[in-house]
Amino acid sequence: MTSPNSRVLERYKSAVTTATSVLGAAMLLRRVLADVLPGTALGALLLLPPASSRRHAVLIEEFDGALYNRVFMAAKAYVSTLLAAAPSVPLMKASLPRGAGADHVLLAMRPGTAVVDVFDGAKVTWRLSRKHDGGGGRRRTTEDAREVFKLSFDAEHKDMVLGSYLPAVMARVEAMSQEQRQTKLYSNEWGKWRTVRLRNASTFATVAMDAALRQAVVDDLDRFLTRKEYYRQTGRAWKRGYLIHGPPGTGKSSLVAAISNNLHFDVYDLDVGGVRSNTELRKLLIRMKNRSILLVEDVDCAVATAPRREAKGSSDGGIPASKNHKVTLSGLLNMVDGLWSSSGHERILIFTTNHKDRLDPALLRPGRMDMHVHMGYCGFVAFRELAANYHGIQDHPLFPEIEALLREVDVAPAEVAERLLMTDDADAAVETAAKLLRGRKAGGGEDGGYIKQKLHVGPRRPRRAPAPSSRRGVVGAARWAVPDEGIGGSSRRGQGRGSGTGRRGRGEVRGRGRR
C-alpha cells in the first residue's frame, strides 16, 4: 500500500514531465514557423504586439556630471512652446521672469505630467519626472532633486527621432534665443546661479570717462574677440582679465555694464562671501556659459580674511578648521589663471576695487589681470558728456568756470550726475553742479561729505588689535600680527606692483578726463 507522500511525489513528477514536453514542442513549433512564415504573420499568430507599438525612450537629465545639460535646457524651452499650443494639459505651471513684460509668461510642466508632439507624422511624448540623488541613509531634500525628461516614441521612429527630431529641437531653441536675446545677470545662491534680466542701459557713449581710456578699452575688447586662433596656437585659455580700480562713484560698475552691452555677454556676479568652499567655487565656474563675464566687485573686501591655504588645524592641538569652510586665496587664484580657468572659452574676468594698494601682490602679477583700468575723478570732458547726455547741453556760459574748478577739486562723476538730475531745467542743473564745485573748493557747505563717507578720509582713531585668546593660539596671534596675508590686508609690498608697462598683453590705463 502506497503512502500519501508517495502519491504526491508521483503527481509532481508527472506534472514536470508534461510541462517539459509542452515547452519543447512549443519551441520546435516556433522554429518551424519562423522558417516558413514572415515576421508579421508570425507575430499575429503568436499574439505578439506589432513592432510599431513597441516604445523606445530617451532620458534627458538636468545635469551632465557637474555641468548643466544643454539638451535638457533646450528641451525645457521647447516644451514651453508645446504647452502654449497644446489643446489640453492637465497641469502646468506659469512664471514671469524678473524684469520681463507681461507678454513673456513662461509655461513649464509639473513633474508627472506629459505633452505630445508630432514631427513628420510621428508622435513623440515628453514626460517630466523628478529623481533624488544621494543615498547612504541621508535624508532627501529638495536640493537633491533633479528633473528628468523622458522622450518616448515608437521603435520604428528611432532613427528619425535621434537623427532629425532632436537636432531640429536644438536648432529651433537656438533660433528662439537669438530672436529674444537679452543680456542676463546671474548671482550665486547656495551653490547655484540665479538669473535676472540685466536692464542697465549703460554704454561706452554714456559712461563718463576719458576719451583715450574709453578707446583703449574698446580696442582691447575687439582685439580679444578676434584672436581665437592666436590663443589656440599659444596654448592659452581664451579669456581676458581686467582690474577696474578707482574711488567710489567713478563709474566702475557702469563700465562693466557697458562692456556687457557692447559684447552682448551675460554677467555672472560672484559673491565670494556666499561661496562655501573652493569646490563650490569650481562648480560655479564650470557651470558658466561661454561668451560671458565673471564679475567680482570690491575684491579687496570680498575675501579680506581668506587664508592663503586651507588650515589643517591649530598648532596648540585645538579643534582643526574645516577643510572646505571658505574660499582661500589659492582657490581664487586657480579660478583666475589655474587649470580651472580653462573650463570655458571666450570669457572675461573683471575685478573691481576702490583700493588697489590693498590687494595681495599675487593677484596683480603678470598673466592674471591683463589690463588695469583706472577710473578717476570727473574731468571737464566727462562733465560735458554728462551734461550732453542728461540735458542735451553742448555749451554753456558756466563751462569755463566749471573747467577751472575741476582742475582744482576732486569730485566723482556720480556726484555730478546726481546734481544734474535734480532738476529738468538745463540752466538750473548746470548752476547746481557749479555750486557743488564752488562748495567743494571752499571746503564746506556743498561738499555733502560724499568723499569722506565713502573713502573714510580724515583723522581716525587708531584701532588697537585685540589680544589673541587661548582658543586662537599661535595661529590666531599670527593672523593679527600679519594682517597682509589675505587679499584685503594692507601690504606695502603690493604698492607699486602691477603699474608697470611694457609687458605684452598687459597694460595700465589711467584717466581722469579733465584735460
CATH number of the domain encompassing residue 222: 3.40.50.300
Is pLDDT larger for residue 482 or for residue 306?
Answer: 306
pLDDT at 307 over 60: no
Domain end, chosen from 374, 390, 412, is at: 374
Q: Which of 341, 324, 339 is nearest to 278 (CA)?
A: 324
217 domain-assigned: yes
- Of the pLDDT bands very low, low, confident and very high (cuts 50, 70, 90), residue 87 is low
Burial profile 384-404: b = 16 or more Cβ within 10 angstroms, e = fewer: bbbbeebbebeebeebeebee
Shared-domain flag, residues 339 and 422: no
pLDDT at 399 over 50: yes
pLDDT at 360: 83
Shared-domain flag, residues 293 and 197: yes
pLDDT at 451 over 90: no
Domain end, chosen from 391, 425, 442, is at: 442
Domain range holding 403? 380-442
pLDDT at 38: 58
Which residue is listed with cell 562648480?
A: 283
Q: Which of 57, 235, 254, 226 is nearest to 149 (CA)?
A: 57
pLDDT at 65: 76
Shared-domain flag, residues 176 and 291: no
The DSSP secondary structure of 364-421, one letter per residue, reads HSTTTS-EEEEE----HHHHHHHHHHHH--S--TTHHHHHHHHTT----HHHHHHHHT
Shared-domain flag, residues 259 and 392: no
- pLDDT by residue (tens digit) across 118-152? 998 899 999 988 876 655 555 555 555 788 999 99
Q: What is the mean pLDDT of residues 228-236?
A: 85
Lowest mean pLDDT, pick from 148-162, 352-366, 484-498 = 484-498
pLDDT at 240 over 50: yes
Is pLDDT larger for residue 90 or for residue 464?
Answer: 90
Shared-domain flag, residues 332 and 392: no
pLDDT at 328: 75
Shared-domain flag, residues 351 and 270: yes
pLDDT at 511: 54
State the CB neighbour count (10 A cutoff) for residue 345.
13
Is pLDDT larger for residue 214 or for residue 98?
Answer: 214
2 domain-assigned: no
159 domain-assigned: yes
318 domain-assigned: no
Of all residues in the chain, what percent carry a pLDDT higher than 90? 18
Looking at the 3D structure of the chain, how many domains does it have?
3
> How many residues comprise the chain?
515
Is pLDDT larger for residue 368 or for residue 89?
Answer: 368
Shared-domain flag, residues 151 and 284: no
pLDDT at 344 over 90: no
Q: What is the mean pLDDT of the chain?
A: 75
Whether the predicted model's global pTM rises above the 0.75 cut: no
281 domain-assigned: yes
Lowest mean pLDDT, pick from 165-174, 192-201, 400-409 = 192-201
Shared-domain flag, residues 85 and 126: yes
Shared-domain flag, residues 213 and 297: yes
pLDDT at 62 over 90: no
Lowest mean pLDDT, pick from 63-67, 98-102, 373-377, 471-475 = 471-475
- Residue 450 dihedral angles phi and psi, to the nearest 5°: -65, -50
Domain end, chosen from 442, 473, 496, is at: 442
- End-to-end CA distance of the chain: give it in Å, rounded: 127
Q: What is the mean pLDDT of residues 487-500?
A: 39
Lowest mean pLDDT, pick from 5-14, 161-170, 320-329 = 320-329
45 domain-assigned: no
3-state secondary structure of 13: helix
* Cβ atoms 258, 282 nearer than 8 A: no
pLDDT at 366: 74
459 domain-assigned: no
pLDDT at 351: 92
Which of 38-52, 302-316, 324-338, 429-443 holds the top average pLDDT? Answer: 429-443
pLDDT at 179: 63
Shared-domain flag, residues 176 and 204: no
Is pLDDT larger for residue 501 or for residue 405?
Answer: 405
State the CB neighbour count (10 A cutoff) for residue 223.
12
Shared-domain flag, residues 296 and 412: no
- Of the pLDDT bands very low, low, confident and very high (cuts 50, 70, 90), residue 510 is low
- Of the pLDDT bands very low, low, confident and very high (cuts 50, 70, 90), residue 343 is low
Is pLDDT larger for residue 291 or for residue 91?
Answer: 291
Which of 136-140, 170-174, 215-219 holds the top average pLDDT? Answer: 215-219
pLDDT at 338: 65
Shared-domain flag, residues 82 and 219: no
Is pLDDT larger for residue 115 or for residue 450?
Answer: 115
6 domain-assigned: no
Distance CA 81, CA 114 (A): 14
Q: What is the mean pLDDT of residues 101-112?
A: 71
